[in-house]
Chains A and B, each alone.
Chain A
Amino acid sequence: MNGEGNSGPVFADPITADLMLSVNGDEHPVTVDTRETLLDTLREHLDLIGAKKGCDHGQCGACTVLVDGRRVKSCLTLTVTVDDREITTVEGLAVDGALHPMQAAFVERDAFQCGYCTPGQLCSAVAMVREVADGWPSAVTADVSGPVALDDDEIRERMSGNLCRCGAYVNIVAAIRQVGA
């Protein structure tokens, strides 16, 4: 990130790119401003409103989507960088109209209140369970060179990138435990 400088006001024309974006298995031809984030493309151009804008700085997790199966912040992802990736949003979790087990568990355990952080929590939870299955250690894994198991401490640590202001964490952990354990 060297070489930058705050060169003061520059009045420049937007630069656009034509891309094919793969979201939830559908191909979407889009013309995007290079400045556009994946979050804004999804919400403003594809009417995929599941991914939420909570902070736009990567600090709340409401915008979490999966890129090639991995959870990322779509507010810090420039759309031009993911034209060769497979994107999954909360709208893509349910299969044939049936709720994904994680979605069903969130309803059953009342793992949300206002619902605004929920799509990000869900995408994050689904990917997180997979990360544990792949043996990735976390900050609470006692021995990082050994195997990992999905206990409550692990769930809490791994879900800490998704803030919930309503305070539904206890129920979120219960829902994930129910599905992931």
Chain B
Amino acid sequence: MRPFAYERAADVRSAVAACAAGMADGAGAVYLGGGTNLVDLMRLGVVSPGVLVDVTRLPFDGVEETAGGGLLIGAAMRNSDLAAHPLVRRRYPMLTQAVVAGASGQVRNMATVGGNLLQRTRCSYFQDVTKPCNKRAPGSGCPARNGDHRNLAVIGQSESCVATHPSDMAVPLAALGAIVHIEGPGGSRKVPMPGLHRLPGDTPERDTVLEPGDLITAVELPPLPFAVRSRYRKVRDRASFAFAVVSVAAALDVEDGMVRDCRIALGGVAHVPWRAERAESALRGSPATEAAFAQAADEELAQATPLPHNAFKVPLARNVVVRTLLDLVEAS
């Protein structure tokens, strides 16, 4: 790990200023949240910032109710506090389920909401600085395409990168269309999910639309009354403490056997938490039946372009979408 300066920000303005100053210095400055991914990446030599700006003491660690029944979640809130919050549990159960499906109790006590969104891929080539990786070292190549890609992307990947986004929490946030609040050197702005993350294209080094020095301050959950019946299903190789092979976040609004509205997003399949918009449009107004769910899933997955060793994710994702929707019908 390269030596770095440590600064603890007391407020947003000084955090953004400290980060900008660190960058101007040429040292490379980054924000430090829970550190569960950043410290690890520094140890691996994947990132080597010269300045760490600790933003965990910023006063963004709570949940506020917004007009219309939504919630505003502070970006410095720890994952375990988010998952345990009574309003989150009641209004957006799939969000609590996703957060507690991620990592371990210890990691969730450390990780922040903002940091969780900005996790880097766990692709083994990305994490190994002795090997090429276009995301880590642009232009060096992607050995995963012909190497080990069993747990990498099947939708929206590019020639230059087949990484997946590892976050569980981001999947229901994408389904909800959560709005990410950002403060940066250029002022404040809001980016709705899933637009925070970007597909790799030929610039896989950029995971998100954030600009250098941008700081996530909050995540706003829009009101969605039918999300009280929502569910996160995570498929993994080990029963716990493992990244998703495939996951689904879904909320379903059914009336008289017909789907009035729905939200569906997939994890473990793409460079971004994948909002299943095609499936959603196919389902709106259709009967809430297994056949309709399967057809909607198929429409979504028709875009899939799997590699030889991860083709199994396509039928897997289909099955999990169908089963999760059926579970929601049963529960309602």
Indicate whether A and B are direct neighbours in the complex (CB within 8 Å): yes
State the A residues within 8 Å of B (CB). 1-7, 10, 12-15, 17, 33-35, 37, 56-58, 61, 64, 70-73, 76-78, 80-81, 124, 127-128, 131, 134-139, 141, 144-145, 156-158, 160-163
With A10-B48, A34-B3, A80-B6 as contacts: A136 and B84 at CB distance below 8 Å:
yes
Q: In the bound complex, do residue A17 and residue B6 qualify as a contact, i.e. CB atoms below 8 Å apart?
A: yes
Q: In the bound complex, do residue A136 and residue B210 qualify as a contact, i.e. CB atoms below 8 Å apart?
A: no
* Residues on the B chain within 8 Å of A135, using CB: 84
How far does the alpha carbon of A78 sit from the alpha carbon of B30 in the complex, in Å?
Answer: 15
Q: How many A-B residue pairs have CB under 8 A?
A: 160
Q: Which single residue of chain A is at the shortest CB-CB distance from B119?
A: A1
Q: List 28 A-B contacts (CB under 8 A).
A: A1-B38, A2-B31, A2-B210, A2-B212, A3-B19, A3-B30, A7-B48, A13-B3, A15-B4, A34-B3, A35-B1, A37-B39, A56-B43, A57-B40, A58-B36, A58-B106, A61-B104, A70-B109, A76-B39, A76-B40, A76-B107, A77-B110, A136-B80, A137-B84, A139-B97, A139-B101, A157-B239, A161-B241
**B269: interface (CB < 8 Å):** no
Q: In the bound complex, do residue A137 and residue B19 qualify as a contact, i.e. CB atoms below 8 Å apart?
A: no
Q: In the bound complex, do residue A161 and residue B3 qualify as a contact, i.e. CB atoms below 8 Å apart?
A: no
* Residues on the A chain within 8 Å of B105, using CB: 71, 124, 127-128, 131, 158, 161
Chain A interface, >50% SS class: loop
* Residues on the A chain within 8 Å of B40, using CB: 57-58, 76
Q: In the bound complex, do residue A2 and residue B214 qualify as a contact, i.e. CB atoms below 8 Å apart?
A: yes
How far does the alpha carbon of A61 sit from the alpha carbon of B39 in the complex, in Å?
Answer: 16
**B70: interface (CB < 8 Å):** no
Q: In the bound complex, do residue B106 and residue A64 qualify as a contact, i.e. CB atoms below 8 Å apart?
A: yes
**B118: interface (CB < 8 Å):** yes
Partner of A6 from the list B39, B97, B136 (CB cut-off 8 Å) is B136
Smallest beta-carbon distance A73→chain B, Å: 5
Smallest beta-carbon distance B268→chain A, Å: 16
Q: In the bound complex, do residue B90 and residue A3 qualify as a contact, i.e. CB atoms below 8 Å apart?
A: no
How far does the alpha carbon of A138 sit from the alpha carbon of B240 in the complex, in Å?
Answer: 11
How far does the alpha carbon of A37 sit from the alpha carbon of B54 in the complex, in Å?
Answer: 15
How far does the alpha carbon of A12 sit from the alpha carbon of B47 in the complex, in Å?
Answer: 15
Smallest beta-carbon distance B37→chain A, Å: 7
Smallest beta-carbon distance A2→chain B, Å: 5
How far does the alpha carbon of A158 sit from the alpha carbon of B104 in the complex, in Å?
Answer: 7
Q: Which single residue of chain B is at the shortest CB-CB distance from A56?
A: B43
* Residues on the A chain within 8 Å of B318, using CB: none
With A1-B31, A2-B210, A6-B46 as contacts: A34 and B100 at CB distance below 8 Å:
no
How far does the alpha carbon of A131 sit from the alpha carbon of B100 in the complex, in Å?
Answer: 13
Q: In the bound complex, do residue B100 and residue A139 qualify as a contact, i.e. CB atoms below 8 Å apart?
A: yes
Q: In the bound complex, do residue A2 and residue B6 qualify as a contact, i.e. CB atoms below 8 Å apart?
A: no
Q: In the bound complex, do residue B109 and residue A77 qualify as a contact, i.e. CB atoms below 8 Å apart?
A: no
**B156: interface (CB < 8 Å):** no
**B165: interface (CB < 8 Å):** no
Q: Which single residue of chain B is at the shortest CB-CB distance from A159?
A: B105
Q: In the bound complex, do residue B32 and residue A81 qualify as a contact, i.e. CB atoms below 8 Å apart?
A: yes
How far does the alpha carbon of A21 sit from the alpha carbon of B31 in the complex, in Å?
Answer: 23
Q: In the bound complex, do residue A136 and residue B83 qualify as a contact, i.e. CB atoms below 8 Å apart?
A: yes
Q: In the bound complex, do residue A137 and residue B36 qualify as a contact, i.e. CB atoms below 8 Å apart?
A: no
Which residues 74-125 of B have a CB within 8 angstroms of A? 80, 83-84, 86, 89-90, 93, 96-97, 100-101, 103-107, 109-110, 115, 118, 120
How far does the alpha carbon of A73 sit from the alpha carbon of B129 in the complex, in Å?
Answer: 24
